[in-house]
């Protein structure tokens, strides 16, 4: 079974940068910034570097490069970035909650990803599903008892925040999973794939990463320029529609390189729109003193849904294997179509959640 993490690296893509943490001193005015020029340059140029590293030094070389770069930047940050004067003497990380939630999700994902080999009714699959559900239930109970939980479930009683969390995970989080399976689709030779496959190496695939990066940057720019006039809800709904249309087009037009190139750009335009809309939606949904916690909740939703989405689309692909070549599966074209359709469905559900959000800050969300 292919490893989602390995395929994400092979894709030569970079995940869209998360928004800056919201501070307790922010007002309820919409954010109009659209990202730094440096970040935009990195997003666009990174695929070429990733492609060169993978083609010349393998996937391990890309990991080592990121490891060394991270270490260098950590030292630079330690030496250059001034320490924040803000302190919270009684704040404690919820390690137990992190363990319970992380373990519950991991157990379910392992069960779902292994079920095609083990059997859905096998003892291993059912046992892991039961363990995952039990740990998740324990996390809910634990989160309601600790003073500073990993996710403050009481905050989700606010309809605007609940719908923001749902939309951010289903539109932004799941939308980013398209890159992992796109890499496989593009790098498979046409003679092996049949109705898909462009036979690209990692360096050639970089053009898809560039288009994705441009889409993300463009989405952020659009939100930054129009959020005061249109409101962030409109951007999240537009993001859902854009991701859904782009994902469906990628599946249906999987045999045409130009169609897939345009469609993946459309998907990542939606990802950029959604990612830039999220902090504005949080600001509109909760008072300033709750924005840090609420922003963390949307980040958890995005991260979890990205992981769940990647696992589920690979389950779909692994259910549609046409042959094995040199120990690697070659998927049927319909497998990709079903996988992209699943992403589109999630985006539509997230868009429906976004329609319940207030159009402007200060307005109540629809129950």
| pLDDT 10s digits, 210-268 | 999 899 999 999 999 999 999 899 999 999 999 999 999 999 999 999 999 999 999 99
Per-residue model confidence (pLDDT) at position 299: 87
Distance CA 156, CA 150 (A): 13
> What's the token pair of residue 13?
């893509």
20 or 198, higher pLDDT: 198
104 falls in which pLDDT band (50, 70, 90)?
very high
Among 46-50, 104-108, 180-184, the minimum mean pLDDT is found in: 46-50
Distance CA 138, CA 104 (A): 9
Per-residue model confidence (pLDDT) at position 366: 60
| pLDDT 10s digits, 305-324 | 988 899 889 989 988 999 98
Average pLDDT of the segment spanning 328-351: 94
Contacts 24+ apart (CB under 8 A), 200-204: 201/51, 201/55, 202/10, 202/12, 202/50, 202/51, 202/52, 202/53, 202/54, 202/55, 203/48, 203/51, 203/52, 203/54, 203/55, 204/51
| pLDDT 10s digits, 122-132 | 999 999 999 99
Q: What is the DSSP letter of 155?
A: G
User: How far from 240 is each of 230, 262, 327, 344, 347, CA to CA, in Å?
Assistant: 16, 17, 37, 8, 5
With 80 as the cut, is the pLDDT of residue 149 above it? yes
Per-residue model confidence (pLDDT) at position 365: 56
Per-residue model confidence (pLDDT) at position 79: 94
Per-residue model confidence (pLDDT) at position 307: 87
Per-residue model confidence (pLDDT) at position 117: 84
The separation between the first and the last C-alpha atoms of the chain, rounded to the nearest angstrom, is: 42
With 70 as the cut, is the pLDDT of residue 284 above it? yes
| pLDDT 10s digits, 13-32 | 434 434 433 333 344 444 44
> What's the token pair of residue 238?
């537009």
Per-residue model confidence (pLDDT) at position 46: 83
Per-residue model confidence (pLDDT) at position 90: 66
Give the other-Cβ count within 10 Å of 150's Cβ.
22
Per-residue model confidence (pLDDT) at position 178: 92
304 falls in which pLDDT band (50, 70, 90)?
confident
**Percentage of residues of the chain with pLDDT beyond 90:** 49
**Percentage of residues of the chain with pLDDT beyond 70:** 85
Among 32-36, 125-129, 152-156, the minimum mean pLDDT is found in: 32-36
Average pLDDT of the segment spanning 72-83: 93
Average pLDDT of the segment spanning 174-183: 90
Q: Which of 1, 37, 31, 2 is nearest to 17 (CA)?
A: 37
Whole-number average pLDDT of the chain: 84
Q: What share of the chain is helix, strand, coil (3-state, %, to 5)?
A: 70, 0, 25
Per-residue model confidence (pLDDT) at position 11: 44
Contact (Cβ atoms closer than 8 angstroms) between residue 153 and residue 143: yes
Contact (Cβ atoms closer than 8 angstroms) between residue 346 and residue 309: yes
Q: Which of 149, 121, 175, 178 is nearest to 337 (CA)?
A: 178
With 50 as the cut, is the pLDDT of residue 10 above it? no
Average pLDDT of the segment spanning 73-95: 84
114 or 23, higher pLDDT: 114
Per-residue model confidence (pLDDT) at position 21: 39
With 60 as the cut, is the pLDDT of residue 342 above it? yes
CA 353-8-93 angle, 5° bins: 65
Distance CA 215, CA 221 (A): 10
Q: Which of 232, 260, 276, 205 is nearest to 16 (CA)?
A: 276
């Amino acid at each position: 079974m292919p490893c989602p993490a390995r395929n994400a690296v092979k894709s030569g893509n970079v995940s869209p940068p998360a928004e800056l943490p919201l501070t307790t001193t922010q007002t309820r005015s919409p954010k109009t910034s659209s990202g730094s020029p440096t970040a935009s340059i990195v997003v666009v140029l990174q695929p070429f570097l990733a492609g060169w590293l993978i083609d010349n030094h393998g996937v391990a070389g890309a990991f080592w490069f990121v490891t060394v770069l991270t270490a260098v930047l950590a030292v630079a940050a330690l030496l250059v970035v001034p320490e924040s004067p803000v302190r919270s003497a009684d704040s404690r990380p919820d390690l137990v909650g992190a363990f319970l939630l992380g373990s519950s999700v991991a157990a379910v994902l392992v069960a779902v990803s292994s079920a095609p080999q083990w059997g859905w009714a096998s003892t291993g699959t059912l046992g892991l599903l039961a363990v995952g559900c039990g740990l998740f239930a324990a996390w809910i109970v634990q989160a309601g008892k600790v003073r500073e939980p990993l996710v403050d479930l009481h905050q989700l009683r606010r309809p605007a925040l609940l719908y923001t969390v749902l939309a951010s995970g289903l539109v932004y989080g799941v939308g980013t999973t398209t890159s992992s399976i796109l890499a496989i689709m593009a790098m498979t030779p046409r003679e092996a794939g049949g109705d898909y496959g462009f036979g690209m190496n990692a360096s050639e695939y970089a053009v898809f990463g560039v288009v994705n990066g441009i889409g993300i940057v463009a989405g952020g720019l659009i939100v930054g320029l129009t959020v005061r006039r249109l409101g962030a809800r409109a951007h999240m709904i537009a993001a859902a529609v854009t991701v859904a249309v782009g994902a469906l087009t990628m599946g249906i037009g999987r045999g045409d390189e130009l169609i897939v190139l345009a469609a993946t750009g459309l998907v990542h335009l939606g990802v950029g729109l959604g990612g830039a809309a999220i902090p504005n939606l949080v600001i509109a949904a909760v008072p300033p003193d709750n924005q840090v916690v609420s922003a963390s909740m949307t980040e958890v939703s995005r991260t979890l849904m990205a992981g769940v989405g990647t696992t589920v689309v690979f389950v779909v692909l692994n259910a549609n294997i046409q042959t094995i070549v040199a120990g690697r599966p070659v998927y049927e074209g319909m497998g990709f179509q079903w996988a992209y359709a699943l992403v589109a469905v999630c985006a539509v559900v997230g868009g429906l959640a976004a329609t319940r959000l207030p159009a402007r800050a200060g307005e109540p969300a629809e129950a």
